[in-house]
């Protein structure tokens, strides 16, 4: 068995912040929408002898802090390497990030349950390196191995390919959920590819970025219903899709520089003034 992925230092992918929710065809091969949980990023490695390792993004061992998760993960196929987040969940489904700093005894006394939320696979059963395979194939492996474990401490991330459903999630996320991560279904697991994964925070569901929050006071009279209406949000997503040549960094810089002019453009979307040539 080859242990290349399990043994070598592996950089984890990071999503790039964007101001609006990309459309279903905005990313390579189509978009996959996942809820973004607020937890500790961790790589899980399934070792021989019924043993699993949990490593932080910096490579620190987390096995001792979360022994129940290491035991639960050890039941997965030998050689697998997963990418995911450790979270502390209340019975109502909300998450408590600060509780992760406390002892596991304190979390248990507060009624919290530690969970490992998996969202990607770097190596499949037997240690096969999957990083060069497209995301759609990697998550298919994840679905296959985790389906029998639904209801345990190891969970799959909630996901959809439906843009409208993702927007509904954004409007109703409980505490501990930051927004959505949108991933290109045709992308490889390559941390150098900053366009493959993007993140949209809850505050951006109206089409506004957190960098432009200083300009929102001029729209304070707008109700949430109006601001987040499907018609406006869909047009904003089409506006995003019309700018595929812009990198995320240049897009964010453009939004910051333009400021109120950009937001004024968003308000004109209803009339189609800012969508010339957009199908």
The structural domains of the chain, with segments of one domain joined by +, span 4-205, 206-279
pLDDT of residue 207: 39
- Residue 67 pLDDT grade (very low, low, confident, very high; cuts 50, 70, 90): very high
- Which SS3 state, helix, strand or coil, does residue 187 take? coil
**Where is pLDDT greater, at 118 or 279?**
118
Residue 130 has pLDDT above 70, yes or no: yes
Task: Report the C-alpha gap between 104 and 1 in whole angstroms.
Answer: 35
Mean pLDDT of 250-265: 36
- Which SS3 state, helix, strand or coil, does residue 61 take? strand
The pTM score is: 0.72
Least confident range of 75-84, 221-230, 247-256: 221-230
pLDDT of residue 152: 84
Residue 118: count of CB within 10 angstroms of its CB: 24
pLDDT of residue 49: 82
Task: Report the C-alpha gap between 216 and 169 in whole angstroms.
Answer: 22
**Where is pLDDT greater, at 9 or 121?**
121
pLDDT of residue 259: 34
Residue 3 has pLDDT above 80, yes or no: no
Task: Report the C-alpha gap between 167 and 40 in whole angstroms.
Answer: 25
Taking alpha carbons only, the member of 40, 41, 36 closest to residue 173 is: 36
Q: Average pLDDT of the chain?
A: 76
The answer as to CATH 3.40.50.11900 being correct for domain 4-205 is: no
């Amino acid at each position: 068995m080859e242990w290349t992925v399990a043994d070598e230092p592996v950089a984890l992918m990071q999503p790039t912040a964007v101001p609006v929710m990309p459309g279903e065809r905005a990313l390579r091969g189509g978009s996959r929408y996942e809820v973004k949980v607020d937890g500790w990023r961790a790589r899980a490695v399934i070792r021989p002898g019924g043993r699993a390792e949990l490593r932080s993004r910096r490579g620190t061992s987390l096995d001792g802090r979360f022994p129940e998760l290491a035991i639960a993960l050890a039941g997965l196929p030998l050689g697998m390497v997963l990418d995911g987040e450790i979270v502390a969940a209340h019975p109502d489904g909300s998450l408590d990030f600060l509780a992760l700093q406390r002892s596991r005894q304190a979390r248990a006394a507060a009624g919290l349950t530690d969970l490992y939320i998996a969202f990607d696979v770097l190596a499949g059963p037997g240690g096969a390196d999957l990083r060069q395979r497209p995301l759609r194939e990697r998550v298919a492996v994840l679905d296959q191995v985790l389906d029998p474990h639904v209801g345990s401490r190891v969970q799959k991330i909630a996901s959809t390919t439906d843009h409208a459903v993702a927007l509904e999630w954004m409007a109703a996320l409980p505490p501990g959920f930051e927004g959505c991560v949108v991933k290109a279904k045709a992308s490889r697991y390559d941390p150098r590819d900053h366009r493959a994964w993007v993140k949209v925070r809850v505050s951006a569901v109206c089409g506004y970025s957190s960098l432009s929050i200083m300009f929102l006071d001029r729209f304070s009279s707008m109700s949430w219903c109006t601001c987040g209406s499907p018609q406006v949000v869909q047009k904003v997503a089409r506006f995003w899709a019309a700018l595929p040549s812009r990198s995320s960094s240049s897009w964010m810089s453009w939004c910051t520089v333009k400021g109120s002019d950009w937001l004024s453009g968003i308000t004109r979307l209803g009339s189609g003034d800012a969508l010339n040539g957009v199908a």
